[in-house]
């Protein structure tokens, strides 16, 4: 075996240092005395080859045991760091996911709120227009052309709802304010059934298209929310 210093071979091993110190005491023919670490390091010149075979094995075993302990501690530390890093990354991902979910929820709530507010504004505008441009605002005539009836409707129905209102009237009566359904008896521009329902908007419901428009607009607002909502229902069901 090469002449390697016992102190160098068993570095960081308290067990090895003790063993070497004891051996040195025996070799010198005296009882080993305690030494502080600095003195042991400076004065320890015992070589591994100078020790008895049994004590060489003890020194080697102590050194290997110390190395194994150090490696085990290092491996444990690495495993803990890896687990902590994985936990940190997962926590960060969870936080981002929660934030995105919260943003999406807030956005959906705001969109629903905006939609409800818009519906309320539309309904209020429709009611206001119907009130200011009431049937009584138009001089009554003996008869009306389709163009005249449509002109009255444009003044009574909000611009954003007029096309939907027009679509329904086109399908129900082709803008004939005196149209009668021979099967059911439904009457007028919006084919009210029975036609006498329109008397709530005016006693002249049979001959005045403005009265019929007022009633039809109120009916669509109250039952469906707006003429466009009524038209959506008509498209889905073929009637309203």
In this predicted model, what pLDDT tens digit does every residue of 102-144 receive, in sequence order?
888 878 878 887 777 666 655 555 555 544 456 667 888 999 9
Whether pTM > 0.85 for this model: the answer is no
> Is the separation of the CB atoms in 173 and 186 below 8 Å?
no
pLDDT tens sequence across 183-194: 999 999 999 999
In a domain, 163, yes or no: yes
Q: Tally the domains of the chain.
A: 2
Q: Find the radius of gyration of the CA atoms of the chain.
A: 50
> Is the separation of the CB atoms in 201 and 135 below 8 Å?
yes
**Domain end among 25, 52, 72:** 72
In a domain, 118, yes or no: no
Q: Residue 58 — very low, low, confident or very high, per pLDDT cuts 50/70/90?
A: confident
**Domain end among 54, 72, 90:** 72
Q: Token digits for 83?
A: 């687990």
- Model confidence at 11: pLDDT above 50: no
Q: Which residues have a Cβ under 8 Å from the Cβ of 237 and sit 6 or more positions away?
A: none
Find tokens 């102590």 and name the residue: 62
**Domain end among 43, 72, 101:** 72
In a domain, 153, yes or no: yes
Query: Domain residues for 182?
Result: 133-237
């Amino acid at each position: 075996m090469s002449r390697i210093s016992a102190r160098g071979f068993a570095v960081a091993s308290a067990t090895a240092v003790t063993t070497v110190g004891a051996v040195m005491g025996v070799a010198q023919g005296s009882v080993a005395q305690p030494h502080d670490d600095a003195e042991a390091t400076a004065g320890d010149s015992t070589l591994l080859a100078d020790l008895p075979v049994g004590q060489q094995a003890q020194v080697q075993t102590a050194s290997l045991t110390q190395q194994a302990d150090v490696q085990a501690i290092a491996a444990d530390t690495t495993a803990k760091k890896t687990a902590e890093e994985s936990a940190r990354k997962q926590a960060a991902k969870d936080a981002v996911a929660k934030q995105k979910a919260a943003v999406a929820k807030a956005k959906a709530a705001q969109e629903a709120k905006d939609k409800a507010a818009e519906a309320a504004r539309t309904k209020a505008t429709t009611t206001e227009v119907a009130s200011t441009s009431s049937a009584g605002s138009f001089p009554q005539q003996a008869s009306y052309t389709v163009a005249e009836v449509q002109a009255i409707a444009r003044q009574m129905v909000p611009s954003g709802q007029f096309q939907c209102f027009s679509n329904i009237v086109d399908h129900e009566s082709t803008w004939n304010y005196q149209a009668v359904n021979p099967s059911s008896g439904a009457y007028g521009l919006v084919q009210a059934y029975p036609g006498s329902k329109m008397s709530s908007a005016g006693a002249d419901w049979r001959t005045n298209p403005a009265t019929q428009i007022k009633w039809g607009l109120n009916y669509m607002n109250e039952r469906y929310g707006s003429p466009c909502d009524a038209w959506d229902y008509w498209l889905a069901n073929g009637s309203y």
